[in-house]
Amino acid sequence: MKALITGASSGIGRDMARVLAKKGYNLVLVARDEQKLNELAEELRKENKIETQVISMDLSIEQNCKDLHKSVKDVDILINNAGFGDCGNFTHTDLNKELTMIKTNIIAYHILTKLYLVDMKAKNSGKILNVASIAGFMPGPLMATYYSTKAYVVRLSESIREELKKEKSNVQISILCPGPVNTNFNNVANVKFHMRESNSYNVANFAIKKLLKGRFYIIPGLDVKFGIFFSHFVPSSFVAKITYIVQKRKLEK
């Protein structure tokens, strides 16, 4: 069995690689930081006696996504995890950083999901896990672009899920929707959380467990479940006000 994980050099992606390695999956590890990938690959080979392949690649470049699919075949699990955020007033945040975010968080997910889904449907087996966020279910003032990218991932995955159900396909798609997690994401996004952060390995372990059981919505933590539930039953304008307060506190570090 083979799993391909993007954004595998740190955080949830790295920890999902560790969890899958313990379950005997051979791994294709994709990220920009080749040194970290090689260190992780060596660790996983020594501890689990699995095969690993390291691919250093910037997935914000569309052609790289297509080349990745051409070079890596027979994937049983695809985990789209690469991504980053940014925090600040929409008129003040860097446009080029936001465009790269959109390419990484949306376009790369879209390309890889589509290309590998075609392969999986042809053999009528396979699993895709798209890493989204609680952010995908609500408006996100002061993190407008990031929240919007995660909303895209949620809606795309929900739509594909229904298509697969109607086709009675054995292929599975799932979305992981965590709240704040203690990873390098916070440094890249230039934020500091003032609420409890989840442990990255615990989130990864929970995600893989639920993925292998066929769960679509994978939501770690009762507080995150409540947040998503809450966002569905109150006006969006009210959720936006609450979210603004939360994001404002992140910037006050």
**Residues in Cβ contact with 163 at an 8 Å cutoff, skipping those fewer than 6 apart:** none
Position of tokens 């889904």? 117
Position of tokens 């639920």? 210
Q: What SS3 class is residue 4?
A: strand
Joined tokens for residue 57: 């690649």
By DSSP bridging, strand 127-131 and strand 77-80 are: parallel
8 Å CB contact between 165 and 214: no
* Given the residues 25, 116, 146, 147, the one annotated as active site: 146
Q: Residue 217 and residue 150: Cα distance in Å, rounded?
A: 14
- DSSP states along 21-48: HHTT-EEEEEES-HHHHHHHHHHHHHHH
Q: Residue 2 and residue 7: Cα distance in Å, rounded?
A: 16
Q: Is 244 a catalytic residue?
A: no
Measured between its terminal Cα atoms, the distance across the chain in Å is: 44
The beta strands (E) that lie in 62-204 are given as 77-80, 127-131, 172-176
Which parts of 124-235 fold into alpha helices (H)?
Answer: 144-166, 185-189, 200-212, 222-232
Joined tokens for residue 95: 């446009």
8 Å CB contact between 210 and 218: yes
Residue numbers annotated as active site: 146
